[in-house]
Amino acid sequence: MTLKKTSPKILFLIVSSSVVFLMLYAVLLYYIGKTEKDAYQNSVELFESKINQLLLLESKPILTALKNDTNWDEFVDFISTKKQTWYDETISNELRIYGADYLGVYDQNKQFITRTPTPVIKTVDFIPKQAMTVLDKKRVVKFYIKIPEGVVEVTGATIHPSDDPFKIKTKPSGYFFVARLINGKFIKNLEKITSSKITSLNVNDSIPEQRHVVSAVYSLKNPKGELIGKLLFERNFDVYFENTIRVLYIIIAVFILYLVVSIYYTQKLVYRPLYLVRRALQRGSLSAIAELKKTTGEFSYIGNLFEENNNQKIALIKAKLKAEEGDLLKASFLANLSHEIRTPMNAINGFTELILNTDIDEKERIEYLNVIQKNGQNLVSIIDDLIEMSKIDANQITPNFTEINLESCIEELYKTVKVTIPKKKPLKFKLYKSTVPAAYNIITDEIKLKQVIINLLTNAIKYTDEGMVRFKYEIDEENNLIHFTIQDTGSGIDENHHKHVFDRFKRIENDQSITVGGLGLGLSISKAYIEILGGTINLESKVGEGSVFYFSIPLKYAKVEHIVVKPIREKELAKSEDRVILIAEDDNVNFLLFQKMMKDKAYQIIRAVNGQEAVDICINNSDIDLVLMDIKMPVMNGFEAIEQIRPIRPKLPIIAQTAYSSSEDKAKIEKAGFDDYITKPLNRDRLFELINKY
C-alpha cells in the first residue's frame, strides 16, 4: 500500500530510525560472521600443517632404520648369495623394530627374493616393478598400493655398499621394502598420535562441510603418483559464535515485530480506512467496500453507502452487457439463418430455372425435381425449427400428456431412424433396452419425446462418419425416472463449447458443422422439450472420442426417399477448348447446378471442394482464367483463400459467390479484393454476365 504525501512525519521517522537500527545490526552480524570464518580458516590451515608434521615424525624411525639396513655390505652379499639363514637371523628379526606388517627383498633385476610378513598379510609378492623403477631415480620412496588385504603403506629403498651412504656412487644391488597395512590398528595408532578422528575414504568420496569441525585430507598415492584413497582427519572446532548470533537474531526479530505492530495499528486506526475510501471512489473496488464495512464508526456507514451505490452500478452494467450480447448473438444467428435459407433456395431456384428454360430429357427432369424436393424439405425443416423456437420463447408450447407403450414407441423410433442411415456409411446403430421393463404404460407427451430422441439420434449419426451409435434407455423405479442415453464415436465437442451447446443463438462453427449445415436449433429445442416434460439433459464429450447425451424424464405409470447426389471428382473437367474456370464450392448440389448451367457453354471446369484446394490449384495451374469462390467453405474460407492467391496471381479474376447479402457483407467482399460477387440463389443470366465480363 502506498502512503499519501500528507501522511504524518512520525511514520517516516519510525521507519527511517528502524532502517538505521537494522543496518547497524547487519554490520555487527557481518563482522561476527567474518571473524568466525577467518578463525575457522586459520584453524584448518594450522590443523593441516600439524597433521603433515606428525605423519612425517611418525614415519621417520622407519626411514632411519631403512637407510641403515640398505647401506650394509652383508645385505649386498645376501642379494648375490641369497643365503636365507643370514636373512632370517638379521633382517627378518627386525619386523618388530620397524613396526611393520611386511618386509620384502628384491634383487637388482627386480625379481622377488624373500619376505617376512605378519599374519595380516598373506600376499607373497605385491610390490610393483614401477615402484623399483622410481627407486632407481629417488633411492628412497614412500607410496601406497592396494592388495587383497587392503591398502598398504610401503616405504622402499635401494641397497648399496656401506661406502656409498648417499646411494649415488653405485648402482642399486637390490631393493628393500617395508609395508604397513592401513587397518583398524594402524588408524587407531594414528588417531592417538594426531588427537583426531580418522576416516578412510575412496577416491571419489566427497568431504562434507561441517561448521564445528576442522578437517585435513592426506592423499594416498601409488608409485605413479595416482590417487588411490584418502585419509580424512577431523577435530572439533570450538571457536564459534552461535550463541551470540542467536541473541542478535532474537533482538532483531523482537524489534521487527514491534515495528510491524506499531505500523499496523497506525494504519488500521487512520490510514487504512482512508485508503479504502480512496479505492472505493477511484476503482469501485468490492473488496475495499467489504473491508470498509467491517470497520467501526463512520467508516462502516460510508462502506454501506458505497455498497448500495456499487450494486446499482453493477445491475446497470449487467443489463447493458446482456442486451449487447443478445443483440450480437441474434445478429450472428440471423446471418447464419440467411446462409442456411439461401443455400436450399439456390438449388430450388436454379434447378427450377433449368427445367423451365433448358431442353432436358425425362431422366434429368426427374433428377432435378428430386433435388428441388429435397432442398424444399430442408427449407421447411429450417422454417419449422424457427417457428417452434418462437413458440417456445413465447411460452405457447404446452405438453399433451397421453398414455403410451414405452417399449413399442422406442422400437418404432429405432426402426425409423435406422432406415435413414445410408447403407454405404460404415456405422453401427444399436438399441439397448432397459433391464427392468416398464410394468405399465407410461404418461408423457409422445410427440415431444419422439422429437427429442430423433433430434439427438440424427445429430449423432450426422457427426459420426464411422464407428458406433448406441441408444439406451433404463427404467429407474426407485427414483421414478426414465433415463435415456445416446452415445456416438463421432468427432466430439470441445470442452470449451459444452456450455454453449444448448444455447439458442450460439452455434459451434467448425468444418463438420459447416459440412452438415443447419441452424443448430435442434439441441435448444430438445432441451426446451425435456424441461417442459419435467426432465433434465446433460452432455459428456471429448474431441476425437465422441459424445454422450443423457436425459431423464419423470416415470409416471398409467393402471421419404433419400436424395443422393452422385459424387463428383475433386477435379472434374468438361470437354472444351475455351476458357478454364475454377469453381470453389464444397456443396455437391450447388456445384451440380453450376455444371448444369454451363452445360451448353464451351468452358473447361475445375472444382475445388475447400479454400485450401482452391489456393493450390490457382498456384499450380497457370491456365485458370476465372475463379468462382464460395465464401463459406471448410478447411479455409473464401476470404482466407483470396489472401493467399492475390500476391501470387494479382490479375486473376476472382468472383465471390455467397449466400450472405447484407450491405456489410458486400463491403467486406469488396475490401477483401474480389473483382465482383454473385449471391445465392444463383441467377443464370447474372452468372454468364460476370463470366463474359471477366
Helix (H, G, I), strand (E, B) or coil at 36: helix
Q: What is the pLDDT of residue 381?
A: 65
Q: What are phi and psi of 537, to 5 degrees?
A: -140, 145
Amino acid (one-letter) located at 435: T
pLDDT for residue 555: 93
Do 517 and 597 lie in a common domain? no
Is 546 in the same domain as 593?
no
Same domain, 547 and 625: no
Whether 412 maps to a domain, the answer reads yes
Residues 146 and 96 grouped into a single domain: yes
* Structural domain span for residue 616: 579-693
Q: Are residues 584 and 521 in the same domain?
A: no
Residue 317 lies in a domain: no
pLDDT in tens, 256-311: 888 888 777 777 777 777 777 777 777 777 777 777 777 777 777 777 777 777 77
Residues 6+ apart with CB under 8 A from 579: 602, 603, 604, 625, 626, 691
Report the pLDDT value the prediction gives residue 508, as an integer from 0 to 100. Answer: 52
End-to-end C-alpha distance for the chain, whole angstroms:
69
Q: Would 258 be classed as within a structural domain?
A: no
Residue 490 lies in a domain: yes
pLDDT at 15: 77
- Asked whether the bond before 567 is cis by omega within 30 degrees of 0, the reply is no
- The per-residue pLDDT for range 452-501, each reduced to its tens digit, is 898 888 888 888 888 899 999 999 999 999 999 999 998 888 877 777 67
Which CATH number goes with the domain that contains 50?
Answer: 3.30.450.220
**In this predicted structure, what is the pLDDT of residue 516?**
45
Average confidence (pLDDT) over 668-694: 85
Tell me whether residue 618 is in a domain. Answer: yes
Q: What is the pLDDT of residues 340-385, one digit of tens each?
A: 666 677 777 788 888 888 888 888 878 887 777 777 766 666 666 6
Burial class (CB in 10 A: 0-12, 13-18, 19+), 24: exposed
Q: Are 538 and 637 in a shared domain?
A: no
**At 515, is the pLDDT very low, low, confident or very high (cuts 50, 70, 90)?**
very low
Cα–Cα distance between 62 and 47 in angstroms, integer?
A: 24
**Neighbour tally for 304: CB within 10 Å:** 12
Q: Which residue has the higher pLDDT, 665 or 15?
A: 15
* Confidence check: pLDDT of 326 > 60: no
Q: Are residues 33 and 122 in the same domain?
A: yes
Picking from 178, 211, 236, the residue at the C-terminal end of a domain is 236
> What is residue 571's predicted lDDT score, i.e. its pLDDT?
35
Q: Are residues 639 and 526 in the same domain?
A: no
Is the pLDDT score of 568 beyond 70?
no
Instruction: Answer yes or no: is 448 within a domain.
Output: yes
The number of distinct structural domains making up the chain is 3
Q: How far is CA 241 from the centre of its chain?
A: 49
Which of 175 and 348 is assigned the larger pLDDT? Answer: 175
Residue spans of alpha helices (H) in 70-101:
73-81, 84-89, 95-98
Q: Is the pLDDT of residue 564 over 50?
A: no
Quick: pLDDT tens for 97-136: 888 999 999 999 999 999 999 999 999 889 999 999 999 8
Q: Which of 521, 433, 438, 547 is nearest to 484 (CA)?
A: 433
Do residue 75 and residue 198 come from a single domain?
A: yes
Say if residue 594 is in the same domain as residue 532: no
Reported as a single tens digit per residue, the pLDDT across 41-76 is 888 888 888 888 888 888 888 888 898 889 999 999
Q: Does residue 662 sit within a domain?
A: yes
Quote the mean pLDDT of the chain. 81
Separation in Å, CA 103 to CA 127, 128, 175, 188: 11, 14, 11, 22
Please give, one letter per residue, the 3-state secondary structure of 131-192. Answer: HHHHHHHHCEEEEEEEECCEEEEEEEEEECCCCCCCCCCCCCCEEEEEEEECCHHHHHHHHH
User: CATH number of the domain that 432 lies in?
Assistant: 3.30.565.10
Q: Are residues 598 and 533 in the same domain?
A: no
Give the cell for residue 500: 454453449
Lowest-pLDDT choice from 285-299, 572-586, 590-604 = 572-586
In a domain, 102, yes or no: yes
- What pLDDT shows up at residue 550? 92
- Residue 245: closest CA among 536, 29, 419: 29
Whether 57 and 122 share a structural domain: yes
Looking at 187, 214, 236, the residue that finishes a domain is 236
List the alpha helices (DSSP H) in 520-662: 522-532, 588-597, 611-620, 638-645
